[in-house]
Homo-oligomer: A and B are copies of this chain.
Amino acid sequence: MDGSERRAPYYRSVGREREVFRTAARERLPVLLKGPTGCGKSRLVEAMAHELGRPLVTVACNDETSAADLLGRYLVRGAETVWQDGPATRAVRSGAILYLDELAEAREDVLVVLHPLADHRRELFLDRRDEQISAADGFQLVASFNPGYRRGPKDLKPSTRQRFVAIALGYPEAEAEIEIVSTETGVERGVAKRLVSLASKIRSLTEAGLTETASTRLLVAAARLIGAGVPPRVACRAAIVEPLTDDHATARALGDLCDLGF
């Protein structure tokens, strides 16, 4: 889990996101990454953890994650009761980057526990141990958030949002995305170009009723199948069309786009 021990992860910038992230880290300001599925939010965090030379602790937020899951708990081991730090506590003590993936999915009690960690106090209170921890140097709170769906009940509260410097990410420009697809999968540039062109057509289909559109992740999967010998049209249906929709008419329309491309 120590980002610095791995080789630098592949991440291609789409704007000034690295500069803002780097400065926020220096200024001890929490960072919120906003963007759609598969646009590279987690990759950016991995890349920054590598650049800043800090360990990375990732927590996939969800409705069942309790404050105890983040902070830690007492475990009964035979006749002994031992305290086990949770991931947030570990990150705070060790000065790691604490990455809360899909923060809006977390329950409110989790968010509220993080508030004193996300302002000038930089403190975490372990109520079960009655212990207050100040964040070690280098600790940084990072969260991701997908504003595209989950409107309403699962929106982040202003009192949470306004604790973060927020960076909006989108899908990369065509040139950058072609580079990503071919670098990641080894397919020849021509195939990558056709996939990116197909994605661009799908992304412009605002009337197709898709909850989200084709992410870079899908293009990479299609390129992998093609590189391994699956006919491109079959690969695009399996890796792009079927993951995007269950509606027969929409699937047929997207399939036609695939056939046009290959």
Contact surface of A with B, Cβ cutoff 8 Å: 1, 16, 19-20, 23-24, 26-27, 29, 32, 34, 37-38, 42, 58, 60-67, 69, 74-81, 84-87, 90, 101-102, 105, 107-109, 111-113, 115-116, 119, 125, 127-128, 130, 132, 146-149, 155, 157-159, 161-168, 211-212, 215, 217-218, 221, 224-225, 228-230, 234-235, 238-239, 242-244, 246, 251
Contact = CB atoms under 8 A, between A and B. Distances in A.
Given A20-B235, A37-B159, A78-B80, 5 more contacts: A38-B159, A58-B116, A102-B159, A161-B244, A162-B212
Contacts of A1: 132
A228 B107 contact: no
Given A159-B102, A230-B20, A243 B164 contact: yes
A98 to B, nearest CB: 14
Contacts of A147: 246
Contacts of A212: 158-159, 162
Contact of A112 (B29, B61, B119, B228): B61
B79 A243 contact: no
20 contacts: A1-B132, A19-B234, A23-B228, A26-B228, A34-B242, A34-B246, A37-B162, A42-B119, A64-B107, A64-B109, A65-B109, A76-B76, A76-B81, A77-B81, A87-B130, A102-B159, A149-B157, A161-B244, A166-B242, A167-B238
